[in-house]
Structure 1
Amino acid sequence: MGTLSQDELNRALIERQMLRERADHSALATIEHLFGIQAQEPKSPYVGLWTRLQDFQPAELEDLLTSRQAVRILLMRGTIHLVSAKDALGLRPHTQLKLDRELQSGPFSKPLKGLDLDEVAEAGRKILDDTAMGTADAGKQLKQRWPDREHTVLGNALRNKLALVQLPPRGLWHTSGRAICTTVENWLGQPQEAMPKEELVLRYLNAFGPATVMDAQQWSGITRLAETFEALRPRLVTFRNEAGKELFDLPGAPRPDADTELPVRFLPEFDNILLAHADRRRVIADDRLGVVIGGKPTVLVDGYVVATWSAKDKQVRVDYIDQLPRSRQQAVAEEADRLQTWLRA
């Protein structure tokens, strides 16, 4: 069992996240390889795909959403993700326990006290499968049955209890819209069926490894994955990080040398590369996590976050956290120009 340095873990993550070299893959294949793309900001998946793929055009993702091959749905860590239709049906059952716990202990727990939430969810399912609408609007209809409850509280219960897809035009590039929802079963015409936990862990490692058990639990929001890792141990290889913690990985997965050269990459808000590990120092220093939590898009130089960026009126501006050599600043400026040209197309 060897030890992997921070830089080696960084290079492995960059490689698997398709950030060392832009890939000649379809958007759908990339979404499935990445095991979902964070989509709290409706436009962010487009930038996430542009920075990873050759010649990516927004119409390709728009087509996936309108043809129901990909969906926007509440998944890992209780946040909106863009995933393939197949992964939506297979992943969503694994997130239900966390979402149920949020209703039991979160800010809505007291206003929901005494309600049969399964009964509320079933009533909400009938409403949303009949007519897609926002959860607050569905809550107004539910209030006719539960008049002593606020409609926003009832709508929030539906958000957690039901697997709701945000329908286009929400999430489209050239237009926008509020979050209008229906159930994933209604939208896709298929029932949910949880993928095996073993498959979930293997695909996580393929996209984010090498990783600890706690890393996988941080990414997914699913607890008690240690048993799954142990069951898979004969099929995996193990390492230690510099702190001595055990890392698991796929035997044939890429683990580039620590000195592998990397290009500048612009990441969208909340990109999963920044959120998929309990120890995020493999790509961002602890004292910089605030920029991610604050929803700022980030810039990678030599594999690490060194700046944030914004695009007002499609004019890209970079704000440096670190002082960089002129050669690195020039590389950042060139990539910013490429992004700006793409945004204006």
Structure 2
Amino acid sequence: MTKTPSGPVLGTRALNRATLDRQLLLRRSARPVKEAVAHLVGLQAQNVKPPYYALAARLDGFAPEQLATLMADREVVRIVTLRSTIHTHTADDALTLRPLVQPARDRELIAFRKGLAGVDLDRLAALARDLVEAGPRTMAELRQALLAEWPGADPQSLAVAARCRLPLVQVTPRGLWGRSGQVALTTAEHWLGRPAEPAPGPDGTVLRYLAAFGPASVKDMQTWAGLTRLREVFERLRPRLLTFRDERGTELFDLPEAPRPDPGTPAPPRFLPEFDNLLLSHADRARVVPPEHHGRAWRGNQAYRTLLLDGFLAGVWQLDGEVLTVEAFGPLSRERRAEVAAEGERMLAALFPGTSYDIRFGTVVAPTGR
């Protein structure tokens, strides 16, 4: 018999404000960049610029060079981790989180079994490691080298197998603000000059997730991490946690000392990048995405850059040349337009100092993935 969750009910606005506070979006934080990246347990980095926009929305006085310098100094890296997508992580997290989510990478390979028929995956991993540690390789170069060993295999499946079996990081200048470059890969251990840590127990990561995204359910955590079977971890941690319910009756867990602001706390406008983890890290996204706007942040498998108003998804935006276009999902008062424009100016001044931009309210072109 399933036990009915108990505990106080947290409404949607209460969950919204708690999550925004932990995401550093209720007010900009003075945290150092590296500390913020660690607190947020990484930044979604499917494209190059999102981590910079994400930090500009969250940190007071942020300048792109701060993150780029950390990346050039190998204190943060770009690596496939959560949900099988590229994230910008601290070096420490790259060496621990990747082993933690390795079971998800192993499951990912199941879909490529046909293309890997007859391939010894242990040998493939060893060969791929030798190749990328001899010098960073592009995926095309890695694919061709592996195909020479297994000419009957599917080339793309070979490359995916290498990515799944090895903790491959994108070396600089890829990811540097204003420079970047093509994707070239080596192992995290080789790039960072130290061995990977043993896969940590999940308990600590659950606590870190709650600190950055809570209050949250077991399914929320599983959605964020791309892992399954975390119920027993939460049960083990239950004596250390508080429990609540959302308006649907779902049990939510939280850290006793974590902030849970009053639902009426003001939430200023925020410009977020495409694929921001705020919108991707819960099974139930109602705490940020109103039901009437469900799906409006996406076009196919591409994501729009999003606008938060009063803490909730309320529009999309794009930057084309020296024009920032904002498309709100509903009418905006003159005062709200002024607030949005002021936040846009603040973001642009942080990321592109000394450049003049025109801010317009209109229609945003659908994302293309570029």
TM-score by length of 2: 0.90
> Does residue 203 in structure 1 map to residue 208 in structure 2?
yes
- Picking from 222, 228, 232, the partner of 1:227 is 232
Of stretches 297-306 and 88-97 in structure 1, the one that deviates more from structure 2 is 88-97
Superposed displacement of residue 146, structure 1: 1.1
> Does residue 31 in structure 1 map to residue 37 in structure 2?
yes
- Picking from 224, 248, 258, the partner of 1:253 is 258
Cα distance in 1 between the residues matched to 2:25 and 2:34: 17
For residue 294 of structure 2, give the secondary structure of its aligned residue in structure 1.
helix
Q: Look up the match of 2:268.
A: 263
Cα distance in 1 between the residues matched to 2:117 and 2:340: 52
> Does residue 79 in structure 1 map to residue 85 in structure 2?
yes
Count of matched residue pairs: 343
- Picking from 10, 15, 23, the partner of 1:9 is 15
For residue 254 of structure 1, give the secondary structure of its aligned residue in structure 2.
coil
For residue 238 of structure 1, give the secondary structure of its aligned residue in structure 2.
strand
Q: Look up the match of 1:190.
A: 194
Aligned pairs (5 A) from 1:191-340: 191-193=195-197, 194-286=199-291, 287-292=293-298, 293-340=301-348
- Picking from 90, 98, 103, the partner of 2:104 is 98
Cα 1:285–1:117, aligned 2, differ >3 Å: closer, same or farther?
Answer: farther
Superposed displacement of residue 239, structure 1: 0.4
Cα distance in 1 between the residues matched to 2:192 and 2:236: 32
What code does the residue aligned with 2:331 have? Q
Cα distance in 2 between the residues matched to 1:84 and 1:34: 10
> Does residue 137 in structure 1 map to residue 145 in structure 2?
no
Cα distance in 2 between the residues matched to 1:114 and 1:329: 60
- Structure 2: segments with no counterpart, 5+ residues: 1-6, 354-370
> Does residue 52 in structure 1 map to residue 72 in structure 2?
no
Cα distance in 1 between the residues matched to 2:330 and 2:228: 36
Cα distance in 1 between the residues matched to 2:312 and 2:32: 26
Cα distance in 1 between the residues matched to 2:178 and 2:237: 44
What code does the residue aligned with 1:276 have? S
- Structure 1: segments with no counterpart, 5+ residues: none
Cα distance in 2 between the residues matched to 1:341 and 1:17: 22
Cα distance in 2 between the residues matched to 1:195 and 1:42: 28
> Does residue 147 in structure 1 map to residue 151 in structure 2?
yes
Q: Look up the match of 1:158.
A: 162
Of stretches 223-232 and 315-324 in structure 1, the one that deviates more from structure 2 is 315-324
Q: Look up the match of 2:361.
A: none
Superposed displacement of residue 195, structure 1: 2.5
Does the CA contact (< 8 Å) of 1:136 and 1:152 recur in 2?
no
Cα distance in 2 between the residues matched to 1:314 and 1:126: 45
What code does the residue aligned with 2:333 have? P
Does the CA contact (< 8 Å) of 1:314 and 1:340 recur in 2?
no
Superposed displacement of residue 324, structure 1: 2.5
Cα distance in 2 between the residues matched to 1:185 and 1:290: 40
For residue 281 of structure 1, give the secondary structure of its aligned residue in structure 2.
helix
Cα 1:159–1:250, aligned 2, differ >3 Å: closer, same or farther?
Answer: same
Superposed displacement of residue 290, structure 1: 4.5
Does the CA contact (< 8 Å) of 1:19 and 1:265 recur in 2?
yes
Of stretches 324-333 and 63-72 in structure 1, the one that deviates more from structure 2 is 324-333
What code does the residue aligned with 1:137 have? E
Q: CA RMSD in A?
A: 1.3
Superposed displacement of residue 2, structure 1: 0.6
Cα distance in 1 between the residues matched to 2:232 and 2:316: 39
Q: Look up the match of 2:47.
A: 41
Task: Render the CA deviation track for 1:168-224: whole Å, top value 9, x for unaligned.
Answer: 111110112111000111111222222221100000000000000000000001111
> Does residue 109 in structure 1 map to residue 117 in structure 2?
no
Cα 1:340–1:315, aligned 2, differ >3 Å: closer, same or farther?
Answer: farther
Task: Render the CA deviation track for 1:212-252: whole Å, top value 9, x for unaligned.
Answer: 00000000011111111011011000000000111000001
What code does the residue aligned with 2:211 have? N
Cα distance in 2 between the residues matched to 1:51 and 1:119: 44
Q: Look up the match of 2:362.
A: none
Q: Look up the match of 2:127.
A: 123
For residue 297 of structure 2, give the secondary structure of its aligned residue in structure 1.
helix
Task: Render the CA deviation track for 1:23-80: whole Å, top value 9, x for unaligned.
Answer: 1111000000101100001111001111111111111111111111101000000000
Cα distance in 2 between the residues matched to 1:82 and 1:17: 16
TM-score by length of 1: 0.96
Cα distance in 2 between the residues matched to 1:219 and 1:191: 26
Cα distance in 2 between the residues matched to 1:157 and 1:11: 41
Superposed displacement of residue 134, structure 1: 1.2
Of stretches 32-41 and 152-161 in structure 1, the one that deviates more from structure 2 is 152-161
Superposed displacement of residue 322, structure 1: 2.1
Cα distance in 2 between the residues matched to 1:155 and 1:133: 11
